[in-house]
A and B are shown apart, each in its own frame.
Chain A
Amino acid sequence: MPAHGHGLGRYLVRRGVGSVIVITLVILCVSLVFETLADPVVIDLGPYAGEVAYRARRQDLGLDAPYLDRALGQLRSAWTLEWGYSPSQRRSVSTTLMDRLGPTLAYAIPGFCIATTTALGAALWQVQHEGGAVARCLRTASALAVSLSSLIVVIMGQYLLAHRLGWFPVIGWPLRDPAPHGLWWYVALPSLLCGFLQWGPDCRMYRALLVHEARKPHLDALRARGVGRWRVRLHLIHGILGPLLTRIVQRLPYLLVGSIVIEQVFNIPGLGDVIVVAVKTSDLALIRGLAVALALATVTGQLIGDIAAGMIDPRMRTW
């Protein structure tokens, strides 16, 4: 349909321009927070550093250049995906990000898949067997999972399942390559815990969507006509596919960050771990690279999610 195609084209142009503006503002925000609110050199060297050392460090970090030049340089580096050299990692920011991405995705993707499938199944069960004992248990479990701090879940999970029962290794990444027991053996427990942390909020959201959808009269009509349970179930899932897909796609960028707590507790050399190192050492290049790369992923994820949801469910179409 030509009108539909033109609408989508205009929408893409509009969103593209908006994304460029947002990324530019992100870069300026990061430089405002990390260069203007506090002096990174003072944080790095301490308040009692000498004048010579202070000036030399400012020059090293490129902070002696005028603000406008620095801002333009940062914009250029963001669009070329080259953020310079990371002092804390002793190599380029791009290489660091690419190297650290693997360990994070190794546990975050399985965790995400576990959380999404089990949360959807549990939510479906709760809606279909509302008032039943299992449904009530699942509802209580999801409320508890939302309420628990990730710190408690991860620390206690590691203690019980790895230290006490010995079902999993205590560390989440092999210390030498190749891994003696295979990589999956190490990332199994971090994946399960990562999935559990996401399961609570996912389950509650999917249940809310399904409860809302199950009240629609067309499903009552299907049941009255004697349509099979599985077909009604498919209609139910089809009804929530738009918001479901939006949530799934919008969560994808967060997979890149993973869980800082899991990486710290299980000693996984991922991106979450490198964020803490970058902030603690005031590694400006690395912080800027992380923020802009993750902002790019977020903006792209949101755009893909909105388009996919609009294509599946015309009610969610904004073009």
Chain B
Amino acid sequence: MVSSSPPGPGHTVGRRLPDRPTQCAIAGLTTAVAVATAAGLGWIGADHARLFTASHEAPSVAHWLGTDTLGRDVASRAMRGAQLSIFTGVAAALGSVAIGTSLGVIAGLRGGWVDRSLITLSQTIGAIPPLILMLGLGVMLHASIASAAFAIAVSQWVGVFRTTRAEAQRLAQSDFIRAAQAMGASPFDILRTHVGPTLAPLWTTTLALHFVYAVKAEAVLGYLGLGSTALPSWGRMLGEGAGGLGNGIWWPVLAAATPLAALVLCAQHIADRKASIGTTPQRRAPARQS
């Protein structure tokens, strides 16, 4: 039995189960990862590029999400789209958090000219519109999954850098870090033992938020025809299917929009939950009569 109410007096507080919406979000994400893995291993959606005879065939038993303009099975393409979205989302989020975190920790703990140089670098990247950087890198490095993930990561690390740097600066002034330094701990030990565990909650929240952004960005790249062409993309499917909506051909858009919206919603909910757990102050009465 799941309970979101606080335990009463004398109740042993263990590791509380998440509330119902969070459980649904976790289940949704797990399903998406399972579908993406199965698609990657070729267990499902293997015939996504196969041309069947009838184009724009309505959903049926043979093709339960119909076929597209070229007569390809829409369900297979949607399942392979999960593989592209999740891989790009995870790789881009890990990349941006890794770059932003490592540079932020270095800038915050070292200070001086290292800090100033890294701030200038972050301001430079921050001044270039992310869209131009993302589209430019995506095209210049040739359209592939890796180049899309790299382009998204490079255009998004600045926010992580600023947050991590501020936290690292605050930590550098704290007593326990000074005590560790006084006892002769090496910078690596301080990072591993103190800085890493302290900043870990911040990184996990940031990772979830960047995953959401990267999935959306990949869809836009696919829609513009600048993403990977090796696999079907939900964004490209939306672009191809949007023209048919007016003629009553709704299934390609539904097949792409539903998983995209669900994946982003689940990841956003988990990011919000993690952020609220980290920042919620003690409960107080709501502000009245303001």
Per the bound structure, the CA–CA distance linking A155 and B269 in Å amounts to 23
Q: Verify B268–A143 contact, CB threshold 8 A.
A: yes
**What is the chain B residue whose CB lies nearest that of A224?**
B289
Whether, in the assembled complex, A188 has its beta carbon less than 8 Å from a beta carbon of chain B, the answer is no
Q: Verify B284–A150 contact, CB threshold 8 A.
A: no
Select which of B223, B253, B287 is within 8 A of A127 by beta carbon.
B287
**What is the chain B residue whose CB lies nearest that of A222?**
B290
Per the bound structure, the CA–CA distance linking A215 and B287 in Å amounts to 7
Whether, in the assembled complex, B277 has its beta carbon less than 8 Å from a beta carbon of chain A, the answer is no
Q: Main SS of chain B's interface residues?
A: helix
Q: Verify B136–A34 contact, CB threshold 8 A.
A: yes
**What is the chain A residue whose CB lies nearest that of B151?**
A33
Q: Verify B261–A130 contact, CB threshold 8 A.
A: no
Contact partners of A150 in chain B: CB under 8 A: 216, 220
Contact partners of A73 in chain B: CB under 8 A: none
Select which of A159, A261, A299 is within 8 A of B127 by beta carbon.
A299
Contact partners of B242 in chain A: CB under 8 A: 155, 159, 265
Interface centre among A18, A21, A295 (most CB of B within 10 A): A295
Given known contacts A37-B140, A149-B261, A261-B220, A295 and B290 CB-to-CB distance under 8 angstroms = no
Whether, in the assembled complex, A38 has its beta carbon less than 8 Å from a beta carbon of chain B, the answer is yes
Whether, in the assembled complex, B288 has its beta carbon less than 8 Å from a beta carbon of chain A, the answer is yes
Select which of A152, A254, A280 is within 8 A of B260 by beta carbon.
A152
B256 → chain A closest CB, angstroms? 9
Per the bound structure, the CA–CA distance linking A81 and B222 in Å amounts to 33
Whether, in the assembled complex, A23 has its beta carbon less than 8 Å from a beta carbon of chain B, the answer is yes
Q: Verify A22–B123 contact, CB threshold 8 A.
A: yes
B150 → chain A closest CB, angstroms? 11
**What is the chain B residue whose CB lies nearest that of A163?**
B246
CB interface residues, B 145-180, toward A, < 8 Å: none
Select which of B127, B223, B226, B261 is within 8 A of A147 by beta carbon.
B261
Whether, in the assembled complex, A260 has its beta carbon less than 8 Å from a beta carbon of chain B, the answer is yes
Contact partners of A38 in chain B: CB under 8 A: 140-142
CB interface residues, B 100-153, toward A, < 8 Å: 120-121, 123-129, 131-133, 135-137, 139-142
Q: Verify B265–A147 contact, CB threshold 8 A.
A: yes
Contact with B along A14-37 (1 / 0, CB 8 A): 000010011101100110011001
Whether, in the assembled complex, B255 has its beta carbon less than 8 Å from a beta carbon of chain A, the answer is no
Interface centre among A147, A148, A264, A295 (most CB of B within 10 A): A147
**What is the chain A residue whose CB lies nearest that of B279?**
A208
Per the bound structure, the CA–CA distance linking A127 and B246 in Å amounts to 42
Whether, in the assembled complex, B286 has its beta carbon less than 8 Å from a beta carbon of chain A, the answer is yes
A74 → chain B closest CB, angstroms? 14
Select which of B223, B257, B261, B289 is within 8 A of A229 by beta carbon.
B289
Q: Verify B264–A294 contact, CB threshold 8 A.
A: no
Q: Verify B124–A257 contact, CB threshold 8 A.
A: no
Whether, in the assembled complex, B41 has its beta carbon less than 8 Å from a beta carbon of chain A, the answer is no
Whether, in the assembled complex, B235 has its beta carbon less than 8 Å from a beta carbon of chain A, the answer is yes
Q: Verify B224–A232 contact, CB threshold 8 A.
A: no
**What is the chain A residue whose CB lies nearest that of B238?**
A151
**What is the chain B residue whose CB lies nearest that of A24?**
B124
**What is the chain B residue whose CB lies nearest that of A293?**
B129
Contact partners of B215 in chain A: CB under 8 A: 149
B241 → chain A closest CB, angstroms? 9
Whether, in the assembled complex, A136 has its beta carbon less than 8 Å from a beta carbon of chain B, the answer is no
B24 → chain A closest CB, angstroms? 13
**What is the chain B residue whose CB lies nearest that of A232?**
B290
Q: Verify A147–B287 contact, CB threshold 8 A.
A: no
**What is the chain B residue whose CB lies nearest that of A220?**
B287
Q: Main SS of chain A's interface residues?
A: helix
Per the bound structure, the CA–CA distance linking A301 and B281 in Å amounts to 33
CB interface residues, A 126-165, toward B, < 8 Å: 127-128, 130-131, 143-144, 146-152, 155-156, 159, 163
Q: Verify B127–A23 contact, CB threshold 8 A.
A: yes
B43 → chain A closest CB, angstroms? 27
Q: Verify B290–A219 contact, CB threshold 8 A.
A: yes
Given known contacts A159-B245, A294-B132, A298-B127, A147 and B264 CB-to-CB distance under 8 angstroms = yes
Whether, in the assembled complex, B79 has its beta carbon less than 8 Å from a beta carbon of chain A, the answer is no
Given known contacts A130-B286, A156-B257, A279 and B226 CB-to-CB distance under 8 angstroms = yes
Given known contacts A33-B133, A38-B140, A146 and B268 CB-to-CB distance under 8 angstroms = yes
Whether, in the assembled complex, B212 has its beta carbon less than 8 Å from a beta carbon of chain A, the answer is yes
Given known contacts A29-B124, A147-B212, A280-B139, A152 and B287 CB-to-CB distance under 8 angstroms = no
Given known contacts A147-B212, A149-B261, A150-B216, A264 and B224 CB-to-CB distance under 8 angstroms = yes
Given known contacts A37-B141, A143-B268, A214-B290, A275 and B127 CB-to-CB distance under 8 angstroms = no
Contact partners of A265 in chain B: CB under 8 A: 242
Q: Verify A291–B268 contact, CB threshold 8 A.
A: no
Q: Verify A233–B290 contact, CB threshold 8 A.
A: yes
Contact partners of A91 in chain B: CB under 8 A: none
A169 → chain B closest CB, angstroms? 14
30 contacts between A and B (CB under 8 A): A18-B120, A21-B120, A22-B123, A25-B124, A26-B128, A34-B136, A37-B141, A38-B140, A43-B140, A130-B287, A147-B268, A151-B216, A151-B219, A151-B238, A151-B239, A151-B260, A155-B257, A229-B289, A260-B224, A275-B132, A276-B135, A279-B132, A280-B139, A280-B225, A287-B136, A291-B128, A291-B129, A294-B129, A295-B128, A299-B127
